[in-house]
Every structure is written in C-alpha cells, then in structure tokens.
Structure 1
Amino acid sequence: MTVIRVGMADLNVADGEDSLRTTGLGSCVGIALYDPQTKITGLAHIMLPTSANPNETNRAKYANTAVPLLIELMEKKGANRRRMNAKLAGGAQMFTFAGQSDLMRIGPRNVEAVKEALRLSTIPVVAEDTGGNCGRTIELFSVDGSLVIRTAKQGVSTL
C-alpha cells in the first residue's frame, strides 16, 4: 500500500490498495470522491471558495475549479461520475474577529462552495465532518472509500 500525499491547493487520484492523505485542513476543505465499483478515489485540498479567473493556473486551489478537475482525472482512470459519492472534512472557523464580516468566514464559505460544485456535478455528499474550530488530517482509502479523520481535540474518527 502506498500513501499518496496531497498538499495544500493540490489534488490526486488513487486506486487499488493505495490511500490519499492531506494534512493542515483548517479553513481548507478536503474533498474525498469515491467510485465503489472501480475503487478509484480522488482527494482535493481546496483553500478558497471560487476563482473568477478563467485562466487560473492552479485549479486545485478553488472549490469551483477543483471539483470538475478531480472528476475529470478520476474518469481518465476509469471511474464513472454517476457512481461517485463525496465525503467532506475541514472548513473550520479557525479564528474569530470582532465585527466579523462574511469575507472572514472562509471555512464555512469553502464548505458551501464545495457542496454547490458537487451539486452541479450531481455527486451526492454521503458524509461530512466540517465546521468547528480545529484542524484536521484526513486519509482516504481506495479499498473501501473510508475516510479517516484525525484531530488534536477529538481524536480519530471514520466516515
């Protein structure tokens, strides 16, 4: 089994017995996609909700560009979007400021943008561990689509 690391503003796909892992999910969101028939998985670590730039060079950085790219890469490996499901983690509100504007709600805005991008791609969200105020490390296993979430405050859980 190989653990494939996914960095911040990054994404990757795996299959077989490999897993995908990302760390440092604070306000960022980890998007885990899984095709149960082919056991192809995809993981994106997005930083921001949307990019309005059609020439964006790092499509993995934004929810609205990362989701279609991740689906495309999974389909190239043999996955079918009609069978895919999604699990989400992250989107924490890491800091609180007095008189906080909507622009400072990065974590919740990221979660909303990811859900909208998945809705537009007709991929259901089957589980999530989002919000709160703690960081997360996640690992997605291709063998069964399980998503293991580690937090300093809440320990380990599996979606």
Structure 2
Amino acid sequence: MKAVVQRVKNASVSVEGKVSGSITEGLLVYLGVARGDAKADADWMADKVANLRIFEDNQGKMNLSVKEIIHVKVNSHDIQPRFGVLAVSQFTLLADARKGRRPYYGDAADPIEAKALYEYFMDKIMEQGLLCESGVFQAHMEVAYTNDGPVTILLEHPEGKNEQVSED
C-alpha cells in the first residue's frame, strides 16, 4: 500500500462536473492498493495518516497531527466546517516505470480487492474521529487543491521496504 499525503488548505474531487468529496482544510491522501495488501496494511496506513505530525504548533514547528490540530482549532474556535481527510484512490501510485516508457501496473491490486481496502481505510480514518471525504472508485476524477507549505509526504507499507520507523 502506498500513499501520497499532502497538507492542504482546501481540496475537492469531482466526477463528471459534480463534487463527490471536499474538505476546507486537512489532508489530501492519494491511496494506492497493491496486490497482496490486507486489512493490517490499511490499519497501519490509516493510523499513520491520522497521526502524522505535519501541522504546525504555536511555535511554527511541524509537531501536530490532523487529529491534534482539530482540537487546537476547536478550542480556539477556528475550526473549518469540513476539516479532515480527502481520500482519493489512485492505482497509478503502483506504477513501475523503471523499464521502457510505458508504466507497468501489474503490482496494483485487483479492483474488487482494492475498492474493499480503500473503503476499509476510509472507515479506519473515520474511526479516529476524522471527517473522511472521498472520490469515486475507478472513475475519471478531477482533483483541485491548494497545497499548504507545500508539505507532501510519501508513505509505503508493508514494512520491510526500506522503511525506517520513528515514533517521535
């Protein structure tokens, strides 16, 4: 499982001119499900996304997660009405372009399995008390957003793919 996580000031996804999901502030997550991924991978990814400390504290240091920043904003009465996560399925994250000029997508999960894990990932985000909006699985989507920072983080699971673990 792979994800591109972007801290955003706003984000929306549209299909055929209709908005299917939007947030006013939070995280835009492009999620790619690989062949062989399981619920444990989605559990790990949802926990990592919800607790990734990439929002600034009052000293300007990236020290707060999306879950923590909501509490800060609620207490300061500065919460946006649709603050949370916008999850967009994206099998192209599994592309292998090392050879030739046409990417190979054979590492992407079968669509039925991928959709189930994508939806499970979103459920796990919501279980953490976060709003989770989404795109439309397997649809041609238009994504609009304003990257804040810019802050863009690449996440990959399962463990064993050169990941260094730090719980700071």
* TM-score relative to the length of structure 1: 0.42
Structure 1 or 2, whichever has the larger Rg, is 2
* TM-score relative to the length of structure 2: 0.40
Higher relative contact order by CA 8 Å / sep ≥ 6: 1 or 2?
Answer: 2
